[in-house]
Amino acid sequence: MELHPFEQHPTREWQEADAAHLLHPFTDHQALAAKGVRVITRGEGVYVWDSEGKRILDAMSGLWCVNVGYGQEALIEAATRQMRTLPYYNAFFQTTTPPATALAQRLATLTPPHFRHVFFSGSGSEANDTNIRLARRYWDLMGEPQRKVIISRVNAYHGSTMAAASLGGMAAMHAQGGLPIPDIVHIGQPHAWAHREGVAKGLSRDAFGLVAARWLEEKILEVGPERVAAFIGEPVQGAGGVIVPPATYWPEIQRICDRYGILLISDEVITGFGRTGRWWGCETFGTRPDLMTFAKGITSGYVPLGGTMVGERVAKVLIERGGEFEHGYTYSGHPVACAVGFANLELIAQQGLVDCVREDTGPYLAQKLEALRDHPIVAEVQSCGLMAAVQLCRHPPTGEAFAVEHGIGLVCRRHCFDNGLVMRAVGDRMIVAPPLVITRAQIDDMMALVREALDRTLAEARAAGWAPAA
């Protein structure tokens, strides 16, 4: 049988072509060209294979998205059928397609009851742009057009467009684009470890959670409550390092939003669709957001799709008083994406994946992580459902960090890759967020690979004199 063009070339040829032509996201291209790109060619379940035939356990679900794992026939079938029937039509100009409307209806049944409307986009970044438009439009229609300011958090990740990167709190991103755009401001993150020598010192987790939430109130008062439109946050910060907030944090944030009447936006791009053990992170943490961003897990990443759940408070004003909302994307409600999303949600429900994460695999992962606490370079472990972080540290008893220039997270990530495991490094925090279909036996395999990578990292750090000898 003749090979497809994608199967014809050896790794080196892909690497050369790639270095010559493809600009990658968040990548130092000179460093990549010197090393040669890794080519991933296929996936099945929780595993992917590279062009050298090496099997890798994908403990990051691609980029926090392949929740049902690779190779699910129901999704493949849904895409194929919809492509044959109608590969594209739009939702502009008073039209729709059955998959777009059916998925909107389905989402209304899977979200808290005050969500009955959806605005689709092509990605999480676009959905967060939509949120800014919606929040400001809402306040215009409410007769308070001066309410423009959106408060977000340091180290938040809300996407990469100019507006979404502004919402995000990544200093390195802001430095490269003249960001943030006006009227977006940031407060600190509820990250007890990062504040261990500062405000969190001597406080219980719960007490620190209240302190961190009150940074929102302080910022509202500083900006002027009459100018604040919304607060946006990820229930658990993902790309910022899987920062699981203290239990006191979100209820206090909700109280503050209610007190000043500001909209609460829950960015559920990572935490949606079962990642935390409930359908939505806001259900795990007890908030009642007005807008909710989703993407990634809606299609398990098989095709791009994002959107915003619009709560009744905003939807009612927009629909009854708003006239035309001057906003939309070519791919808002793309029929193939929506057909795959619909099939994906059916699969998650049929397989009971959300309950499984909450009652079985999530607690099992947490228990396995506990066993890492005795490791000489592990300072803390944190998890929520199937997202987890392992904080590396030079000397856990004193909390002394590794020197930044040693890039210990990247050292650990290299050992993971070499060992057949994808794990993400955020500074000195190692992250896992495996597909929700992962079994207990596969969690055992994953954790054995994690421990092995930690041991190799420790050995390398000791040999280099970065960590104290045994």
Binding site for ligand PXG (CB under 6 A): 63, 123-125, 128, 157-159, 234, 238-239, 267, 269-270, 293, 295, 306, 424
Edge-to-edge strand ranges of the sheet holding 47-50 = 40-44, 47-50, 55-58, 421-422
φ, ψ of residue 128 to 5 degrees: the values are: -70, -30
Nearer to ligand PXG, 239 or 416 (CB): 239
Cβ at position 268, least distance to ligand PXG in Å: 8
Token pair, residue 280, equals: 């939505």
b/e 270-305 (16+ beta carbons within 10 angstroms → b): bbbbbbbbbbbbbbbbebebbbbbbbbbbbbbbbbb
Cβ at position 423, least distance to ligand PXG in Å: 12
CA–CA dist 150, 231 (Å, integer): 6
Nearer to ligand PXG, 67 or 293 (CB): 293
Cβ at position 189, least distance to ligand PXG in Å: 13
Nearer to ligand PXG, 296 or 375 (CB): 296
Cβ at position 308, least distance to ligand PXG in Å: 11
How far is the first Cα of the chain from the last one, in angstroms, to the nearest whole number?
A: 57
Cβ at position 338, least distance to ligand PXG in Å: 16
Torsion angle in degrees (nearest 10) through CA of 219, 224, 225, 227: -110
- For residue 359, the 8-state DSSP code is I
Nearer to ligand PXG, 212 or 239 (CB): 239
CA–CA dist 80, 64 (Å, integer): 24
CA–CA dist 101, 75 (Å, integer): 18
Nearer to ligand PXG, 78 or 303 (CB): 303
Cβ at position 215, least distance to ligand PXG in Å: 20
Cβ at position 157, least distance to ligand PXG in Å: 5
Residue nearest to ligand PXG (CB): 124
Cβ at position 121, least distance to ligand PXG in Å: 9
Nearer to ligand PXG, 426 or 458 (CB): 426
Nearer to ligand PXG, 270 or 372 (CB): 270
Cβ at position 125, least distance to ligand PXG in Å: 3
The tokens 């070339």 sit on which residue? 9
Nearer to ligand PXG, 168 or 335 (CB): 168
CA–CA dist 9, 11 (Å, integer): 7
Cβ at position 389, least distance to ligand PXG in Å: 12
Cα–Cα distance list, 378 to 2, 57, 107, 425, 452 (Å): 50, 22, 40, 14, 13
Cβ at position 282, least distance to ligand PXG in Å: 13
φ, ψ of residue 67 to 5 degrees: the values are: -65, -35
Nearer to ligand PXG, 155 or 361 (CB): 155
CA–CA dist 396, 201 (Å, integer): 15
Nearer to ligand PXG, 158 or 413 (CB): 158
CA–CA dist 118, 293 (Å, integer): 10
Nearer to ligand PXG, 217 or 240 (CB): 240
| Number of residues that this document lists for the chain | 470
Nearer to ligand PXG, 186 or 424 (CB): 424
Token pair, residue 452, equals: 């092995």
What residue ranges in 268-352 does DSSP mark as E strands? 291-294, 306-311
For residue 335, what are the contacts with CB-CB under 8 A and spacing of at least 6?
Answer: 82, 86, 87, 88, 89, 97, 98, 99, 100
> In DSSP terms, which residues pair with 230 in a beta bridge?
150, 263
- Listed in sequence order, the DSSP H helices in 190-321 are 205-223, 249-260, 281-285, 312-321
- For residue 357, the 8-state DSSP code is I
For the chain, give me the number of helices (H) and strands (E)?
17, 15
Cβ at position 314, least distance to ligand PXG in Å: 19
